[in-house]
Amino acid sequence: MKTDLYTKVILTVIAIALTLNLLKGSSTPAMADTKKFVSIPVNPDGSINVNINKVNETMDVNIKSVERGAFYYVSPIPVKVNP
């Protein structure tokens, strides 16, 4: 008898929690990311045209941080440096 009462109480608590979760999810509006992305034109062969104005100086390139999933679905971009 106690097992039956315990099971009914637990299932009732789970049902109430799921109902509250459903109501909470439908009343809270979804918020979009605030990240801004830019489209870059790509050449037919998949390359991208880059114009570097100061070629006489050494260019310091330091990547400070990258989001964990930034390159998850992206293949590496080959880079050629023309002298």
Q: 80 and 52 in contact (C-beta within 8 Å)?
A: no
pTM of the model: 0.33
| Cα–Cα distance measured from residue 24 to residue 26, given in angstroms and rounded to the nearest whole number | 6
| Cα–Cα distance measured from residue 32 to residue 35, given in angstroms and rounded to the nearest whole number | 9
| Cα–Cα distance measured from residue 40 to residue 6, given in angstroms and rounded to the nearest whole number | 61
What's residue 52's pLDDT?
72
Higher pLDDT, 53 or 83: 53
Taking CA atoms, 11 is separated from 4, 6, 16, 21, 23, in Å, by 11, 9, 9, 15, 18
pLDDT in tens, 11-62: 999 999 999 888 876 666 666 667 777 777 888 887 777 777 766 666 666 7
What's residue 26's pLDDT?
65
What's residue 54's pLDDT?
63
Q: 48 and 40 in contact (C-beta within 8 Å)?
A: yes
Give me the residue label for tokens 């979760």: 21
